[in-house]
Amino acid sequence: MSNDSRKPGRWFSTRFRVRYAETDAAGIVHHSTYFVWFEEGRSELSRQVGMPYAELDRQGVVLVLTRAEARYRLAAHYDDEIEVRTRLEEVRSRTAVFGYRVLRVADGELLAEGTTEHLAVSRQSGRPMRLPEPFASAYRAAAGG
C-alpha cells in the first residue's frame, strides 16, 4: 500500500508584473527568468497549502532541485501582467514533481510551461530523506492524492 500520489493536483495561482530587469537585449523576458517565476509559483502553492517553504528550511530539509525544464511558446514583455499556475504532479516518499503554466493575463495566452523535480535532502547529512510531516500529507492533499 503506497502513499504516493501520481494524479496531478489542482492549480494554484499567483500574479505579478514583468520587471524591466527581467528583460534582455532581444526586448523580451530572458528564458532563465521563467525558472525564478516557477519558484514563485512553488512558494505560493506552499503558502496556500499552509506549508511555507521557509518552514521546510527551518526543519533542516532542503527540497533539492534535480531537474528543471521549460518549454517556451510566446515571449513576455516588460510590464506584462503574468499569472503563474502551479500544481503538484506527483508526490512520492522522497520526491515531488511540480508542473507550471505561465500565462499573459491580458489575453490568457499560454507563454510557457514547465516542470521541476525535487528530492528531499537533509541539510545536515546532505543525504536524501523522506519528506517530513506535515509536508508529505499537505503535498499529497494538494496533489489530489
21 interacts with a second copy by CB under 8 A: yes
* Sign, Cα dihedral of 13, 54, 67, 35: positive
The distance of closest approach from Cβ of residue 5 to a second copy in the complex, given in angstroms and rounded to an integer, is: 23
36 interacts with a second copy by CB under 8 A: yes
Query: Exactly one of 7, 10, 31, 130 binds a second copy (CB under 8 A); which one?
Result: 31
127 interacts with a second copy by CB under 8 A: no
Give the H or E element holding residue 49.
none
Distance (Å, whole) CA 87 – CA 101: 9
Distance (Å, whole) CA 111 – CA 29: 11
Binding mask 42-81 toward a second copy (x if CB under 8 A, else -) reads -x--------xxx--x----x-xxxxxxxxx----xxx--
Catalytic positions are 24
Residues 6+ positions from 11 with CB-CB distance below 8 Å: 85, 86, 87, 101
Distance (Å, whole) CA 76 – CA 61: 34
Query: Exactly one of 5, 9, 28, 136 binds a second copy (CB under 8 A); which one?
Result: 28
Q: How many residues bind a second copy (CB under 8 A)?
A: 37
| Cell 514583455, located at residue | 77
Number of Cβ within 10 Å of residue 55's Cβ equals 14
94 interacts with a second copy by CB under 8 A: no
Residues that bind a second copy (CB under 8 A): 16-17, 19-21, 23-28, 30-33, 35-36, 39-40, 43, 52-54, 57, 62, 64-72, 77-79
